[in-house]
């Protein structure tokens, strides 16, 4: 029997590249697509030339063509950090809306099953805690994060419409904060920010008083959950994340210990609409997928720190890897 073919968008990004590795290891034929706006070819260098891997440099917000049969599409292309939304807001909206529409059309034409990467951001600054999938959220549509949150909410809506109207097989994963090797050191998110600061000998920047909470999931756990969801027959959203909740202040203390940082902590203003608390309720994932996270934070953080230590001084001191200016014409 021929290998199943999977198209992974955002293939050169953090999660996309781990998905490519996972599906290659499972002997799928993998088509990776990325416009490299926030992705980095270094993340998939090792797959180039692999007989089961093909890379397409393409922006999925424009019409998407791939030759041949397609069994699965995983739509992971999107900026995913709050500072990226501020730099490239229109592209963030387009990839979640127009990009999703193009890929749903492709899935329909190829009779493929489509899984979309949604997010805990659909819950906004949540008034229900921990967040269950039936909570509708508390999102500011016109705030700085609205470009991401509303694109992802639209993405869920159009995906359910294709499922209900066209009978397309669809899956929706709501991803909570995830970390691991290949995160962009300068993407502004809290883990690379703190580790980068530790490695440069700078103080760690806590936004607000650090009492806001997050729950961090190690990447291999997330990828396993996504695979199980894809292979399940469940079309409604499923939270995938690690319910172990921690304040950002505690997190800074953990990173300080791990990295043996000596430069202390400084406090900066809390960004607008920064959610005060976040913790997934994963009952559904447990029941439907038989999934729960396995890697505890101490173990996951150690692996991640070891990865960041392999980066060069040049990587460490670069303000930003990517040249966004050329995309601002869109």
What positions carry a catalytic annotation?
148
By CB under 6 A, is residue 118 in contact with ligand UDP? Answer: no
Please tell me whether residue 189 binds ligand UDP under the rule CB under 6 A: yes
Q: End-to-end CA distance of the chain, in Å?
A: 43
Contact 248, 213 (CB under 8 A): yes
Structure tokens given for 228: 């199980």
From the CB of 37, what's the least distance to ligand UDP, in Å? 18
Pick the closer one to ligand UDP by CB: 58 or 249: 249
Q: Is 205 in the site for ligand UDP (CB under 6 A)?
A: yes
Q: How far is the CB of 156 from ligand UDP (least distance, A)?
A: 17
Q: Which is nearer to ligand UDP, 137 or 271 (CB)?
A: 271
Distance of CA 32 to the CA centre of its chain: 16
Q: Is 207 in the site for ligand UDP (CB under 6 A)?
A: yes
Place of tokens 């697509």: 33
Q: Interface with ligand UDP includes 31 (CB under 6 A)?
A: no
CB atoms within 10 A of CB 141: 11
280 belongs to the binding site for ligand UDP (CB under 6 A): no
Quote helix, strand, coil % in the chain, to nearest 5: 40, 20, 40
Is 206 a binding residue for ligand UDP by CB under 6 A? The answer is yes
The angle, 0 to 180 degrees and rounded to 10, between the axes of the packed helices 297-309 and 248-259 is 60
Shortest distance in whole angstroms from residue 308 CB to ligand UDP: 15
User: Does position 104 bind ligand UDP by CB under 6 A?
Assistant: no
For the segment 220-279, give every residue that binds ligand UDP (CB under 6 A): 248, 270-271, 274
* Smallest gap from residue 144 Cβ to ligand UDP (A): 11
With contact defined as beta carbons under 8 Å apart, do 255 and 301 qualify? yes
From residue 296 to residue 325, what is the string marking binding to ligand UDP with x (rule CB under 6 A)? ------------------------------
Query: Which lies closer to ligand UDP via its Cβ, residue 246 or residue 288?
Result: 246
Asked if 222 and 115 touch (Cβ cutoff 8 Å), the reply is: no
Q: Residue ranges of the alpha helices (H) in 167-318?
A: 190-200, 219-231, 248-259, 283-284, 297-309, 313-317
The answer for residues whose C-beta is within 8 angstroms of residue 287's C-beta and 6 or more apart is none
Contacts with ligand UDP, residue ranges (CB under 6 A):
81-82, 177, 188-190, 193, 205-207, 212, 214, 248, 270-271, 274
């Amino acid at each position: 029997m021929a290998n199943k073919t999977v198209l992974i968008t955002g293939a050169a990004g953090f999660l996309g590249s781990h998905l490519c590795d996972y599906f290659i290891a499972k002997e799928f034929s993998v088509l990776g697509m990325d416009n490299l706006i926030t992705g980095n070819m270094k993340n998939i260098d090792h797959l180039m030339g692999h007989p089961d891997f093909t890379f397409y440099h393409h922006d999925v917000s424009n019409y998407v063509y791939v030759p041949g049969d397609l069994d699965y599409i995983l739509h992971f292309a999107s900026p995913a950090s709050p500072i990226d939304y501020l730099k490239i807001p229109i592209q963030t909206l387009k990839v979640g809306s127009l990009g999703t529409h193009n890929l749903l059309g492709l899935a329909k034409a190829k009779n493929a099953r489509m899984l979309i990467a949604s997010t805990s951001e659909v819950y906004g600054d949540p008034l229900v805690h921990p967040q269950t999938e039936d909570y509708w959220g508390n999102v500011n549509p016109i705030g700085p994060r609205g470009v991401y949150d509303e694109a992802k909410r639209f993405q869920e809506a159009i995906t359910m419409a294709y499922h209900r109207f066209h009978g397309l097989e669809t899956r929706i994963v709501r991803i909570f904060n995830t970390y691991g090797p290949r995160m962009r050191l300068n993407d502004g998110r809290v883990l690379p920010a703190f580790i980068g600061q530790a490695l440069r000998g700078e103080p760690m920047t806590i936004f607000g008083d650090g009492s806001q909470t997050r729950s961090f999931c190690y990447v291999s756990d997330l990828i396993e959950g996504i695979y199980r969801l894809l292979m399940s027959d469940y079309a409604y959203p499923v939270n995938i994340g690690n319910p172990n909740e921690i304040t950002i202040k505690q997190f800074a203390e953990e990173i300080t210990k791990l990295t043996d940082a000596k430069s202390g902590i400084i406090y900066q203003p809390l960004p607008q609409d920064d959610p005060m608390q976040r913790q997934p309720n994963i009952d559904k994932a447990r029941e439907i997928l038989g999934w729960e996270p396995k890697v505890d934070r101490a173990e996951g953080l150690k692996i991640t720190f070891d990865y960041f230590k392999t980066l060069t001084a040049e990587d460490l001191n670069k303000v930003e890897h990517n040249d966004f200016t050329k995309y601002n014409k869109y």
